[in-house]
Amino acid sequence: MGRRIDASPRVHKLARYALAIGLVALALLISLALQHSFGNPFWFFFSVAVILSTWFGRTGPGWLSVVCSILAVMYYFTPPIRSFAVTPNDLPYFVTFVACEVGATQLISWRRHTEDALRRARDMLEIRVAERTVELKNANEALLKRMEEQRRTEETLQATRAELARAARITTIGELTASIAHEVNQPLAAIVANADACVAWLSREHPDLAEARAAAERATQGATRASDVIARIRSLITKATPERSRVEINRVMEETAILAAGQATTNRVSIELQLSPGSPIVLGDSIQLQQVILNLVMNGIDAMTTVTDRPRTLTLRSELQDTGHIRVAVQDSGIGLTEEVKGRLFEPFFTTRSKGMGMGLSISRSIIEAHGGRLWGESNGTGGATFQFTLPCEDGPTG
Amino acid sequence: MKEHDPIVFVIDDDRMIRDGLQSLIRSVGLRVETFASAQDFLGTKRPDTPACLVLDVRMPGLSGLDLQMKLRDDGIPIPIIFITGHGDIPMSVRAMKEGAHEFLTKPVRGQDLLDAVQKALVSDRELRQERREANEIHARFESLTPREKEVLELVVAGLLNKQIADQLGMSELTVKTHRAHVMEKTQAESLAHLVRMSEKLKTATRK
């Protein structure tokens, strides 16, 4: 396509001039041949020669054909014949002929220029369009490639995430199993040792009933302990309704603060207690509630281990609400929660720590919900996070 | 109970297991002392009698294996019976390599433990006997004068009186006198007995 624009200049200049001379010669021959039948037809054939020369040969050959035509007409067709002279009689006619020829070549030349310009413009446009099309196509391909890459990365990410989750779950199950095995095995070992001792005391020549009884009692205690362990595991797994008793929530919080004191000191965290007046009572399982608070406190302490630009303070607050609920809040000045973390806080096996099961908050929420309450976490405006839960309160404080 | 009665030390952080093991071992007439931790055991003065240790591998603080190492480093030879939960195979291998007497898995069958205890006590008694004999021989040999020791060395090496006299530059009669003193002081009944005692002493000091 691009080649067409260069075609005309490439046609040999001489060939174009030769074409002009040839056409004029042809017109001359035809005019000479026909002059006896048609009178003076020369202006018609010469005009055609000029028009064609100008059209195909451009301006130069056009002018050449005009000059040649005029000379030929002067020589062959204006009296005196076979001379370049023109009689005054024929002058108006001759001048008209010259004007016609000049006009024709000018007009055609101009037309041809316009035509060429138009074609060049069109070709240019086509080239541009082609170029842009190629560019667009490339861009499109690149985009598709990027999308494909993206898709593949996402797939890999998804697979890795699934793999990680599975690994975490397996590890957790492994840890749990090992821990359960140990917890159950201890009382079993005690039962076996004591039962064997009991038999041994009874098998003596003079059976020692007191010793045998003591051993048997210890065996029973061991069995009770084993069944407690199993009950605890079962309640953890089935999230059974917790045991309900009257719990002084403030006291549970105080005890938790004492339990966490060692960890807090190690991490240079100060624990502040802001307890609601009176002794609000909730119905529930004090051990489980303490687990929840301790879990939140430990999380808070962990979140502050990297903080160096502000005091590491953990505030434990309880507040009676108008709705008859008590609100327990654990506020830290730690790293806070990103949106991503916030959205997944309570997912089982989700953790931001390198060592951790990611079960703490998930279990805590189950416990609070089983108590008819709600547990949630949010970022503080001033940095750090606050985790809080509400629990329905028993009517009227005691003590 | 007499002071030199054998004694079994039970170390386990779980009170119920500790009491059970104690009762079990006491039921066959053995003396038992229990400890809640390895540190407690180390802090107690132990009577000089045949003894063995029943030791839980997994304990807070000093673990059973730690205690084994410490006793070995302090040169306190006492047979150890380890008790362990499941999944402690690398541990048991290590303990056996370090010379544990027995390795039992929780829950331990009473008879297995008692058998292990009896075997350990017998072994300890024998070891103690050996050590005592070695000490006695050592004491006797120490009572010899330097000259007598020189004569002893050559006698045990199988030299004749004449050869010994030549080597030490003394008369044959003097050698005979020294030799008689050696036999008397070491309470050797014969030349063969003397050689045996000398060998025993050498092995004991090598240990």
Mean pLDDT of A11-28: 86
For residues B76 and B17, membership in a common domain is answered with: yes
Nearest-CA distance B193 → chain A (Å): 46
Q: Given B99, B128, B157, which residue is the final one in a domain? A: B128
Mean pLDDT value across chain A: 83
Average pLDDT over residues A216-240: 79
Contact A294, A256 (CB under 8 A): yes
Q: Tell me the nearest-neighbour CA distance from B19 into chain A, angstroms.
A: 8
The residue written with tokens 């093991």 in the block is B21
Instruction: Please give the pLDDT value at position A118.
Output: 93
Which of these, A291, A295, A333, A293, lies nearest to A316 by C-alpha position?
Answer: A293
> Please, what is the average pLDDT of chain B?
85
Tokens of B12: 């386990």
Closest Cβ–Cβ partner in A178, A193, A208 for B17: A193
The share of chain A scoring above pLDDT 90, in percent, equals: 28
Tell whether the model's pLDDT for residue A257 goes beyond 90: no
Determine contact: A300 vs chain B, CB below 8 A: no
B198: domain CATH number is 1.10.10.10
Show which of residues 44-103 on chain B sit within 8 Å of chain A, judged by CB atoms: 58, 83, 85-87
pLDDT value for A165 = 61
CATH number at residue B63: 3.40.50.2300
What burial letters (b/e) apply to A328-355, b meaning 16+ CB within 10 Å?
bbbbbbbbbbeeebeeebbebbbbbeee
CA atoms within 13 A on the CB side of A221: 15
Contact (Cβ atoms closer than 8 angstroms) between residue A340 and residue A327: no
B110 plus B167 within the same structural domain: no
The yes-or-no verdict on residue B107 having pLDDT over 60 is: yes
Q: Is the pLDDT of residue A3 over 50?
A: no
Does position A128 have pLDDT exceeding 70, yes or no?
A: yes
**Residue that is last in its domain, among B128, B155, B172:** B128
Banded pLDDT at A162 (limits 50, 70, 90): low
Note whether B108 and B170 are same-domain residues: no
Same domain flag for B118 and B18: yes
Tell whether B134 is covered by a domain.
no
| Choices 3.40.50.300, 3.20.20.80, 1.10.40.30, 3.30.565.10: CATH for A245-392 | 3.30.565.10
Residue B137 placed within a domain: no
Predicted pLDDT at B19: 93
Confidence of residue A175 (pLDDT cuts 50, 70, 90): low
Question: Does A41 sit behind a cis peptide bond, omega within 30 degrees of 0 on the bond before it?
Answer: no
Nearest CA to A25 out of A13, A8, A42 is that of A42
| CA distance between the termini of chain A | 101
Q: For residue B156, how many other CB atoms are within 10 A of its CB? A: 17
In chain A, the residue whose alpha carbon lies closest to the alpha carbon of B24 is A197
Average pLDDT, integer, range B134-150 = 86
**Residues within 8 A of A (CB atoms), B 112-141 only:** 113-114
Q: For A169-174, what is the mean pLDDT?
A: 56
Q: Residue A395: what pLDDT?
A: 66
Q: Are residues B75 and B124 in the same domain?
A: yes
The confidence score (pLDDT) of residue B204 equals 67
In a domain, B138, yes or no: no
Out of A140-154, A316-330, A340-354, B32-46, pick the least confident.
Answer: A340-354
Give the mean model confidence (pLDDT) for residues B147-166.
87
Inform me whether the pLDDT recorded for A253 exceeds 50: yes
B35 pLDDT above the threshold of 90: yes
Residue of chain B with shortest Cα separation from A225: B16
pLDDT at residue B87 greater than cutoff 60: no
- Residue B164 included in any domain: yes
- Whether residue B136 lies inside any domain: the answer is no
ipTM at complex level: 0.75
Q: Is the pLDDT of residue B148 over 90?
A: no
Q: Which residues of A are less than 8 Å from B91 in CB distance?
A: none
Same domain, B88 and B154: no
Q: What are the respective helix, strand and coil percentages of chain A, to the nearest 5?
A: 65, 10, 25
Q: Are residues B98 and B148 in the same domain?
A: no
Q: How confident is the model at residue B202 (pLDDT cuts 50, 70, 90)?
A: confident
Q: Are residues B44 and B17 in the same domain?
A: yes
- C-alpha B116/C-alpha A282 separation (Å) is 54
Closest chain B residue to A206 measured between Cα atoms? Answer: B27
Q: What domain count does chain B have?
A: 2
Question: B26: which chain A residues are within 8 Å (Cβ-Cβ)?
Answer: 197, 211
B124 and B189 belong to one structural domain: no
Give the range with max mean pLDDT: A5-14, A120-129, A222-231, A378-387: A120-129
User: What region, left, alpha or beta, does residue B29 occupy, with left being phi > 0 and alpha being psi -120 to 50 degrees?
Assistant: left
CB interface of A with B, residues 225-254, below 8 Å: 225
Domain end, chosen from B128, B162, B183, is at B128
Q: pLDDT tier at A376 (50, 70, 90 boundaries)?
A: very high
pLDDT exceeds cutoff 80 at A4: no
CB-based contact A267:A299 (threshold 8 Å): no
Is the pTM here over 0.80, yes or no? Answer: no
Residues B150 and B109 reside in one and the same domain = no
Q: Which residues from A are below 8 Å from B113, CB to CB?
A: 193
pLDDT at position A397, please? Answer: 46
A153–chain B nearest CA distance, Å:
40
Domain containing B175 equals 143-206
Beta pairing partners, A272? A315
Per-residue pLDDT tens for A23-79? 989 888 888 888 777 666 567 888 888 889 888 888 888 899 999 888 888 888 877
Q: Which pLDDT does position A1 carry in this prediction?
A: 40
Which is more confident, B96 or A212?
A212
Shortest alpha-carbon distance between residue B46 and chain A (Å): 25
- Helix H or strand E segment including A335: none
pLDDT tens-digit map of A302-361: 888 888 888 899 999 999 988 889 999 999 998 888 888 887 887 766 777 665 666 678
Same domain, B87 and B25: yes
In-domain check, residue B2: no
CB count in 10 Å sphere of residue A249: 23
**What pLDDT is recorded for position A164?**
67
Residue B135 belongs to a domain: no
* pLDDT for res A398: 44
A197 with B86: Cβ contact below 8 A: no
Q: Which residues of A touch B107 (CB under 8 A)?
A: 185, 188-189, 191-193
The answer to whether residue B38 sits within a structural domain is: yes
